[in-house]
Amino acid sequence: MSFFIKSKPKRGIKNKFSNKKEHIGNAKKAKTDSNNDDTITSSEDEEEEHNDDMDHVNGGMNVPPSDDENETAQEKKLRLAKIFLEEIEKEEAARLNEDEELHGDAISKRLKLDYLKQAGKLKLSVANEYVGADINNIQILKAKEHKNAVTCLCVSSDNKFVFSGSKDSSIVKWSLVENRKVKSIPFQKKLNKNSEVVGHSKQILCIAISFDDKFLAVGDATSVIQIWNPEDLKHIGSLKGHRDSVTGLTFRGNTHSLYSCSNDRSVKVWSLDEMSYVETLYGHQDKITSIDCLIKERAITAGGRDASIRLWKILEESQLIYNGHSGSIDVVRLINEEHFASGGDDGNLCIWSTGKKKPVCIVKEAHGCDPSNLQPFWITSIAVLVNTDLIASGSNDGSVRLWHLENKPRQLTLLFPIQITGFVNDLAFIANGDYLAAAIGIEHRFGRWSVIKSAKNSIAVIPLTKKNST
């Protein structure tokens, strides 16, 4: 099968949702138009494209409208650029001490970092700074709502809150400042269609929060994605379209575009600004187990037992296929726009380049073997400090392991293990890598193949120690 696959155009497919919305983007419209005839993009379209470009540059921030209705596209571009620079100056000034002056070099450096992030080329070396974990100050967060295994978690953009889901069908909001439960969404028995949604009726499998903490998306063993307000955990809306359990959710950076994957073997794109369905992507031959994305308009997914990873290019309506694992691929995470990591039940931790269809680095049996059956411990979770060389992996071997990605990246070196009892079903870095949050359960998030009775269904917040802090 070819490494590069072009999706066939979808014809005659009927859906209870409307066709692709106008908000998909002018670039996609222009592409469709060019396929029909050799028309030239109008000046109106060009102006809209300028607006889209500036919204992307401004990182999704709210921009005040101009008083001049006759403002040209070039004038608007200049005005938005000035507003963007003012925001950068304020942010950089806030980071400096009172005795320090804000110089042009600081703004230039910030702009360069922002550009590299947008382009997916930012690669920071930080892993060598980490020397261990502060075991004595690990915070174990438990709640009565999470009596069963904690399956997933996500961290707010200000790094003050963690949201977790469990097999109890409950959601808990935790304060990282006070190390306690703040609010919760309880289990709700399945009611009739006219009932108000106040909770989930089946086990939670995935959770994601938008870049501005405006939307909290939750997927469970039903086919419906529920959207909540992260502030007060009030229900906002429901997204219906999948035909089986929703297993993965991720927001595209600086947008309210949501990507979801499911046991129905499909990937769906949603716009939460309109609370609407956009399109469906097909290709996997088995249940999809994991999904991730960064800033570019594309997503990456793990296909479970079809042993493939697929990179979906949304605008181009195409996909790249990667093969390398010998078993089910349970998790995939982007390191930057050019590299990603994956793990599965073969015990291998793999590093990939988007330009190569085989792994560029493989750590076999990354968490060792189970002495009872001599089988490798599964890789159940991966966390990446995005755009850096620091990676964390979880399993059920009794530890979380931190890795240093070296040599562009061709080699994974173990930094140190952190003792954790139970299935590490999800991981996330907090506050620029100062902490690592782990979702712990007595069993795997997808099933009950094994149970660790000594484990505690909880959230573990692990402080990480750096050289300059010792």
pTM over 0.75? The answer is yes
The CA distance from 392 to 3, in Å, is: 29
Cα–Cα distance measured from residue 127 to residue 363, given in angstroms and rounded to the nearest whole number: 17
* CB-based contacts of 382, cutoff 8 Å, min separation 6: 331, 332, 333, 341, 342, 343, 349, 391, 392, 393, 394, 427
Q: To 10 degrees, the CA torsion angle through 331, 289, 420, 450?
A: -130
Is residue 123's pLDDT more than 50? yes
Give 311-355 pLDDT, tens digit per residue.
999 999 999 999 999 999 999 999 999 999 999 999 999 999 999
Report pLDDT for 16: 35
Q: What is the pLDDT of residues 182-220, one digit of tens each?
A: 999 999 887 666 778 999 999 999 999 999 999 999 999
* Cα–Cα distance for residue pair 54/77, rounded to 1 Å: 7
pLDDT of residue 102: 53
Is residue 344 within 8 Å of 378, Cβ to Cβ? yes
Can you tell me the distance from the alpha carbon of 248 to that of 266, in angstroms, rounded to the nearest whole number?
A: 11
**pLDDT (0 to 100) of residue 83:** 77
- Give CA–CA dist 294/264, Å, rounded: 24
Local confidence band at 124 (pLDDT 50, 70, 90 cut-offs): confident
pLDDT value of position 161: 98
Instruction: Give φ, ψ of 206 to 5 degrees.
Output: -160, 155
All domains of the chain, ordered by start, with CATH? 16-63+70-119 (no CATH), 127-469 (2.130.10.10)
Residues in Cβ contact with 193 at an 8 Å cutoff, skipping those fewer than 6 apart: none
Q: Which residue has the tokens 């609407």?
A: 276
pLDDT tens by residue, 248-299: 999 999 999 999 999 999 999 999 999 999 999 999 999 999 999 999 999 9
% residues pLDDT > 90 (the chain): 68
